[in-house]
Amino acid sequence: MVVHPLAFFVLLPANLVWAISRYRRSRPIAIGSAQGARMGALMGLLSFAFFLVFFLVTVSFQHAQYRDIMVSRMHEISAQNPDPQAQQMLQWFATPDGLVTFTAIVLVIFLVICLVVGTGSGAVAVALGKDQKRP
């Protein structure tokens, strides 16, 4: 990734505000918050799709490094956790099947975050932009 992952929370809403303002200039009809939320959800889905492509390409080319980093991190977290069930679960996540499952869970969580941030940002951008006069 070229930018810090937290930049997502700035870039996606900023792009949504820009896209909605451009859409308003080209369309004379009013945009509702629900339509802004749908636009935001679509942009969140597209953002996730591009992230997923880059993530999968990176992991496929650097599979060994990704596995080593994730397994070592799982072992560190497991050693710090006093709960034996949590340690057992983290040890399973360090296996090849567990690593695939863990990665899939993290990707699904990131998809949900993209959709929530996109939907909320789209609705807020439309709601805040209603007071402005159109050219």
Q: What is the pLDDT of residues 7-47, one digit of tens each?
A: 666 777 788 778 887 877 887 777 888 888 998 899 889 88
Q: For the chain, give the mean pLDDT.
A: 83
Q: Is the pTM of this model over 0.85?
A: no
Look up tokens 């009809």; give the residue: 29
pLDDT at 134 over 70: no
Burial of 15 (0-12, 13-18, 19+ CB in 10 A): middle
Q: Burial, 18: exposed, middle or buried (Cβ in 10 Å; 0-12, 13-18, 19+)?
A: exposed
What band does 1 get if pLDDT is binned at 50, 70 and 90? very low
Cβ(43)–Cβ(15) under 8 Å?
yes
User: What DSSP character marks residue 94?
Assistant: T
- Please, which pLDDT band fits residue 132 given cuts at 50, 70 and 90? low
Helix (H) or strand (E) run with residue 15 in it: helix 8-26
pLDDT of residue 116: 93
